[in-house]
Structure 1
Amino acid sequence: MINIVTLLNQIDDVMYFPLLVVVMAIAGLYFTFKTRGVQIRLFGESLRILMEPPGEEGAVSSLQAMLVSTASRVGTGNIIGVSTAICLGGPGACFWMWVMCIIGASSAFIESTLAQIFKQKDHTGHAYGGPAYYIEEGLNKPKLAVLFCIFLIVTYAVGFNMLCSFNLQSTFMDYGFYNPTSTPIIVGAILAIVTGYCLLGGGKRIIKITSTVVPFMGLSYVAIALIVILINIQYIPSMFTLILNDAFDFTSIFGGIAGSCMVYGIKRGLFSNEAGVGSAPNASASANVSHPAKQGLVQTLSVYIDTLLLCTATALMCLSTGIPISPAVSGAPYVQNAIATVFGSIGPIFITVAMVLFAFTTLIGNLYYVDNALIFLNGKTKPSERFMRIFHLLCAFVIFLGATISMDAAWAMADITMGGMTLINLPVCVLLGKIAIDCLKDYEKQRKMGQEPIFKATSIGLNEEEFDFWK
């Protein structure tokens, strides 16, 4: 097992530096330049679009599609991921997380706009799509689309779900009853049984309750983080000095770049907001909007909510308390120790409850994306009920295993599988980027003329006969 973990870490290190760091930076900067900073320049327009009703009664609105993708983004990564980045990489990881969020938001715009342009219509008239569809239709590369779907399934059914399960059981480490041998097995078993029950058709009430509670829990988490920050407000200036000094300590960074604050900030930022990974476009394609650029703009907000709001809340809350930073407390313990300085023993309990809810909805949300990939691989029809039952039971078993593996193995698996998706999706977005950029120009042209933008494929030189929508 030690040899396997070592191998995974080596693959992880090479994949992120130099490969993914360079690809993400070049793609993000290229999209930012070509769109003239759409993610910043049209921030106000994004907020305006968010409140628009869907084009048809009963259809999915921009807001609803954004909430689905935000729900999949928001989860254990906003708490555990940030803590791990700070404890293992240093406080400067926060700065690089912010930088990649702003740059990556342009990638999120491109991928979601492409998903809208190339979306397809099912037998009920509803829209669906995602990277596999714009790879197949836009690039005419069906084999590459299949490979992307395989990476997506491995990422969300295995990598992310194992990590989510591990992160949840790690929140119990600071409790007196925690036993490193038995507790992970018990937590993993309970989580696997409940998730499996819901996946097999039961537990609809559980899903409904958690889906309702989680947004309130997210807001409560931000409020509590804000209280901790305000109580320690006198340390805010020194905290930002600490972040910036560490972020630009290039001697330290280049002395061990794979474990530096820069790489950890990029890794955990990508894991949390998934900008450019190719996951959110699966939800974006379902929105009923009059122009594809609208959903692209809305998705930039989802990236900001995840990183600039929730991840930053965790980072500033922890750093403002002055709790010692070390690899020994990376993950849930660091956050729980920080919140306990203000709320005492209630604080860690709140984090545990939040993690239970976040983890459960993340697991269910992850498998929503997996189902879409399976449909694509099955000739764009839903697999048989027998296959799905067996598959969901295997997913539940993977969740159980996730709680019992080491932290290094859990993070490496998630990083590698997510990295594979990103290395397919971002180059594809660059190749198809002109279509999304022309689409944005068309949108802005209509807005300047005082019109409500309505998209036609022919307006940017596309053959409307090749599209289910935009005729």
Structure 2
Amino acid sequence: MSEFLDAVNSYVWSNALVYLCLATGIYFSVRSRLVQVRQVPEMIRLMLRGEKSPSGVSSFQALTMSLAGRVGTGNIAGVATAIAFGGPGALFWMWMMAFLGASTSFVECTLGQIYKTRDRLTGEYRGGPAYYFSKAFEHTAARPFFKLYGLLFAAVTILACGLLLPSVQSNSMASAMNSAWGFSKWWVAVGTVIVLGFVIIGGVKRIAAFASIVVPFMAVVYIVLALVIVVVNIDALPGVIQLVFSSAFGLDSTFGAILGSAVMWGVKRGVYSNEAGQGTGPHAAAAAEVSHPAKQGLVQAFAVYVDTLFICSATGFLILSTGAYRVFEGESESGAVLSEGGLLATTVEVGPAYAQAGFDSLWNGAGSTFIAVSLAFFCFTTIVAYYYMAETNLRFMLGRFATIDVRFLPGTIGATLTMLLQALILVSVVMGCVSTATEAWVLGDIGVGLMAWLNIIGILILQKPAYKALWDYEKQKKAGLDPVFDPVALGIKNATFWENYDPKASHELQPSARG
């Protein structure tokens, strides 16, 4: 089975997907006239101010929901694996993937808002790639193909977010807790399942409330403490930066032979971490209450920066500046050691232990505990976000059966499949806790890769409405207006939610608690 999964992973994450991610980011950056640079001040303004209603969460809550999915083990263990198998240069390619991916995230998340819908069961907003693929082409002869394409993406997302991806998060969480406190991985699995079951039953509102409190707090604490370590080792920083850039382009003789691995692991872990192009961000973006889709597209583009440029960079500099790294030949721990910083014990496995050792260099004995606590919050909120995305796509596939309230009619198709999904993600968490890190990461990479292939190809075909929304937003802002979206005036068809949207009559809109 392991050999089979490795073979599948090698096909999914071939060079073709790596270059597709990079080329798409370059193309969207040029097409948008570097929206990820021009609109940074507006991104920050929108992040802190926005609307909310009984049907939708605020822009800030949607951002934190998105970060809940983005900020996880990829920011700690993912960075460590990228450095271990791609060398320090992999960190540069993670940065590059974030910069280019911000434009990709803008496109996909704006599309998520344009084609969102109101859940007839809960009244909440839902959307994502499955929705925009199926709705955007309803008026064309290509409707049957893209309806099927949307169903395919929904099925893949249910598989990825319901089974493949949660195991990576729970594995890192259990490993860190076992290393720090000696907790049995089975006990970690049981405790996580109990808490997760309580949260996912509460729906998108509870998810948003939970994430808006936990994610920003833990992200800030993690970044600050990591930077303290870097400052203490400030003398090593110039050398670290030089090493990152030289090895990123094969200029360092030690890492010249693994230049391809640096690009591969940097892009792979960059996409895994910030999820730009993967198709997960649009789910959270669609849940937001905004007067114009471009608003949430800009907010979600900034989320990519928060994830990679801030949190992943903090981890990378922490590991490299303290010497808590080891680089292997052949992209495997069984390969020869090409380079090492000298801080790690010979028994340390690739993963969270790199960051734990880095923190221990200043606070001896506290590193394991801090990383365990950080991963407990980061990984748990990511698993919660995965469930929300899987449930959203299940709602899409159920169609009219999703209108049946599963809480009061437990024998219906919708109720049965929803409960099966809940059971599936709980089983995935348990499997991840007790499996090896290699097995968990292979499953996670397959899930990310499959979603990325489908979503990136789809948004390259469907990109035009996102740019119409961007130009319209910028035009209204230039005129001194608070932009309001009118898809009919822009020639965007099948944006049915917005066709009936009247902000003047929407008395339920309330100022965000943060704006």
| Shorter-chain TM-score above 0.5 | yes
Deviation at 1:199, TM superposition (A): 4.2
1:329 aligns with: 349
* 8 Å Cα contact 2:247/2:256 also seen in 1: no
Deviation at 1:200, TM superposition (A): 5.7
What are the within-5 Å matches in structure 2 for residues 308-347 of structure 1?
Answer: 308-326=309-327, 327=333, 328-347=348-367
Deviation at 1:404, TM superposition (A): 2.2
1:467 aligns with: 496
* Structure 1 residues 350-401: Cα deviation after superposition (integer angstroms, max 9, x where no partner): 1111112222222222101111111111115166434433432232122111
* 8 Å Cα contact 1:442/1:459 also seen in 2: no
1:69 aligns with: 66
Whole-angstrom distance in 2 between the partners of 1:176 and 1:187: 11
What are the within-5 Å matches in structure 2 for residues 243-258 of structure 1?
Answer: 243-249=244-250, 255=257
- Going from structure 1 to structure 2, the CA distance change for 1:188 and 1:435 (only over 3 Å counts) comes to same
The answer to whether structure 1 residue 79 and structure 2 residue 76 are counterparts is yes
Residue 137 of structure 1, aligned match among 135, 138, 146: 135
Task: Report the 3-state secondary structure (helix = DSSP H, G, I; strand = E; otherwise coil) of the residue aligned with 1:290.
Answer: coil
* Structure 1 residues 96-134: Cα deviation after superposition (integer angstroms, max 9, x where no partner): 000010001111000011111111234476432111111
Larger deviation: 331-340 or 388-397?
A: 388-397
* 8 Å Cα contact 1:290/1:454 also seen in 2: yes
Whole-angstrom distance in 1 between the partners of 2:223 and 2:46: 25
- Matched letter for residue 160 of structure 2: T
Larger deviation: 192-201 or 392-401?
A: 192-201
- Matched letter for residue 20 of structure 1: L
- Matched letter for residue 439 of structure 1: A
Whole-angstrom distance in 1 between the partners of 2:170 and 2:421: 18
What are the within-5 Å matches in structure 2 for residues 54-453 of structure 1?
Answer: 54=51, 59-123=56-120, 126-139=124-137, 140=143, 141-172=146-177, 174-175=179-180, 177=182, 183-196=184-197, 198-199=199-200, 212-249=213-250, 255=257, 260-326=261-327, 327=333, 328-379=348-399, 381=402, 384-453=414-483
* Runs of 5+ consecutive residues of structure 2 not aligned to the other structure: 138-142, 328-332, 334-347, 404-412, 501-515
Deviation at 1:195, TM superposition (A): 2.7
* Structure 1 residues 381-427: Cα deviation after superposition (integer angstroms, max 9, x where no partner): 16643443343223212211112222222111111111111111111
Larger deviation: 381-390 or 442-451?
A: 381-390
Larger deviation: 277-286 or 163-172?
A: 163-172
Deviation at 1:345, TM superposition (A): 0.6
* 8 Å Cα contact 2:250/2:257 also seen in 1: no
* Structure 1 residues 174-226: Cα deviation after superposition (integer angstroms, max 9, x where no partner): 45847xxxx43343343334434554679x99997786344322211111101
Task: Report the 3-state secondary structure (helix = DSSP H, G, I; strand = E; otherwise coil) of the residue aligned with 1:453.
Answer: coil
- Matched letter for residue 468 of structure 1: F
Q: TM-score, normalised by structure 2?
A: 0.83
2:339 aligns with: none
- Going from structure 1 to structure 2, the CA distance change for 1:243 and 1:60 (only over 3 Å counts) comes to same
Larger deviation: 324-333 or 18-27?
A: 324-333
- Matched letter for residue 357 of structure 1: F
Whole-angstrom distance in 2 between the partners of 1:409 and 1:57: 41
Q: TM-score, normalised by structure 1?
A: 0.90
The number of equivalent residue pairs is: 461
Task: Report the 3-state secondary structure (helix = DSSP H, G, I; strand = E; otherwise coil) of the residue aligned with 1:343.
Answer: coil
* 8 Å Cα contact 1:170/1:331 also seen in 2: no
Q: Which has the higher helix share?
A: 1
* Structure 1 residues 330-361: Cα deviation after superposition (integer angstroms, max 9, x where no partner): 10111111100001111211111111222222
The answer to whether structure 1 residue 454 and structure 2 residue 454 are counterparts is no
Whole-angstrom distance in 1 between the partners of 2:222 and 2:159: 30
Whole-angstrom distance in 2 between the partners of 1:206 and 1:299: 17
- Going from structure 1 to structure 2, the CA distance change for 1:201 and 1:25 (only over 3 Å counts) comes to closer
* Runs of 5+ consecutive residues of structure 1 not aligned to the other structure: none
Larger deviation: 414-423 or 5-14?
A: 5-14
* Superposition RMSD in Å: 2.7
- Going from structure 1 to structure 2, the CA distance change for 1:279 and 1:207 (only over 3 Å counts) comes to closer
* 8 Å Cα contact 2:84/2:326 also seen in 1: yes
Task: Report the 3-state secondary structure (helix = DSSP H, G, I; strand = E; otherwise coil) of the residue aligned with 2:399.
Answer: coil
* Structure 1 residues 221-242: Cα deviation after superposition (integer angstroms, max 9, x where no partner): 1111011011001111001011
Deviation at 1:172, TM superposition (A): 4.1
Whole-angstrom distance in 1 between the partners of 2:126 and 2:182: 46
- Calculate percent identity across the aligned residue pairs: 36
- Going from structure 1 to structure 2, the CA distance change for 1:87 and 1:198 (only over 3 Å counts) comes to same
Whole-angstrom distance in 2 between the partners of 1:209 and 1:147: 30
* 8 Å Cα contact 1:87/1:329 also seen in 2: no
- Matched letter for residue 346 of structure 1: A
* 8 Å Cα contact 1:193/1:396 also seen in 2: no
Task: Report the 3-state secondary structure (helix = DSSP H, G, I; strand = E; otherwise coil) of the residue aligned with 2:76.
Answer: helix
